[in-house]
Amino acid sequence: MLNRITSAEEKTGAAVNWNQTYTFDRYGNRNFNESLTTTLPKGCVDGSTMVVCEADKKMFNPDLNASDNRMAAGQGWAYDAAGNVIADPQGRSFIYDAENKQVEVENSLEQSIGSYWFDGDGKRIKKEGLAPNGQPELTVFVYNAGGTLIGEYSTAIETAAPKVQYLTADHLGSPRINTDQNGTVTSRTDFMPYGEEITALGNRTANENYVSDSVRQGFIGYESDNETGLEFAQARMYGSKHGRFTGFDPVFVTLERLVDPQRLHLYVYSRNSPLKYKDPDGRDVVIAGTDEEKARKEYELFLMGLDPKDRKKVNFFVGDGKNGYKKGAFYILVDETHKSMSENFSALQKAANNRDDIVKATVLKNGDSYSISSYYLEENKEVLGTHTGEFQNDFGGYTLFQLRDGDTSSMYSTGPYTEMLISREQSDTLIAETFFHELRAHVLLGDYGRSIGKGNHSPSCAENSAKCSPTNAADKEGRKAEEEARKNARKKN
């Protein structure tokens, strides 16, 4: 089960206020079912039925290309080499800097309608665009030493006197109700599943406090850019009408576990389950842990496999329970804008962008126990069982894939994840080599168990990968990963 949302509807009595029904291809690309969805503009007639005009279809429900998960060619959409949207069917152009930050948007007349500035940490510090009331506006954003936004200063002229407002958010962090200092509701906001604001539908009237306000934060706290209709998601831009980001998914990488690096799609929003999951800053991957000292030590060992200039783009931190980070969980934060020639670094980025699979990296000492799943015969029937063994330095590294339909492996992980078992009974450098060997040669090539054959060594290298002559892709990828990690481990920060 993929747990994707397939439809959403609101009624007043028997009357349907709005309906959105979604279809998905095998890669998670989302489209509207036009015949059932009521929120699409339907300004053309087909017989006696109102349908979406071709121009509107290209803009609001475009065909998608399953080979690269982008808007298909021939509709007015265009992408740069980095995978960012640079043009849309309305003739707008989107311009990015070297770090894939959107820095300007132009209309079809090549007039600038929005400009954006960022500091060295990727924080947006200034923008020129439109205020919520439609006025031209210059906004400056101020952050404290910890990177938290503490102030916004605008040139827009407010017609009403300044007043205190309190925002109440829902479970996703979307501000829904504003109250004044007396607790009186002054405005409220509702959203469709992927973040489109619901206006003038059902009983949403001024009498119910559904009125415009000056709150910039919208769906899950993203800041709405009125000039483009996009939402600023920190690491990239989000388009609620399409339920997808305009650029590739930035990177979180786990420590003992690369948790939930949800695969298959680099543009999709929250696994297409937007009422359950959220992506607070356009990046995603969480890892749970219990021993911080142990986690930090293993982090340092894995880090040795990266070039020092890449290590500087990686940081260890502990979740604080805010902004979607689980309290007490251990994270490795990777600069999503960093470009590197390192294949080891690129492998970590790819793993972190994988959003439908879970990968564990478990380090074992002699005497530690580990578990596997395998089939055995019971009363002439094959039964899947779990077996626990004691590690006795039997191997340097081993990858247990998640059990999937049609698998032919003899051993699997014990849960819905792929697990990398790594021996602690080897040198620090070898641990770094093993980590990247397992990640590149097995986890990624084997596609988390979907293509186990591609992630298997040739017979000679399966016995001794260090001394064999590489013949297949897994042999060669593993050797390259080890050599790069070994070379990097000799370098000092």
Specify the pLDDT at position 229: 93
String of DSSP letters for 282-329: S-------S-HHHHHHHHHHHHTTS-HHHHTTEEEEE--SSTTPPTT-
Task: Give 252's pLDDT tier (boundaries 50, 70, 90).
Answer: very low
CA proximity to 332, closest of 346, 349, 344, 347: 349
Tens-place pLDDT, residues 42-58: 999 999 999 999 999 99
pTM, to two decimals: 0.58
pLDDT at 253 over 60: no
Average pLDDT of the chain, as a whole number: 83
pLDDT at 278 over 90: no
Q: Which of 236-240, 349-353, 369-373 has the lowest mean pLDDT?
A: 349-353
Task: Give 382's pLDDT tier (boundaries 50, 70, 90).
Answer: confident
| 57: phi then psi, degrees, rounded to nearest 5 | -60, -45
Task: Give 259's pLDDT tier (boundaries 50, 70, 90).
Answer: very low
Specify the pLDDT at position 257: 29
In the predicted model, what is the mean pLDDT of residues 278-298? 60
Specify the pLDDT at position 265: 61
The number of CA neighbours under 13 Å toward the Cβ of 485 is 30
Specify the pLDDT at position 102: 96
Specify the pLDDT at position 275: 80
The tokens of 273 are what?
A: 């389950």
Specify the pLDDT at position 380: 66
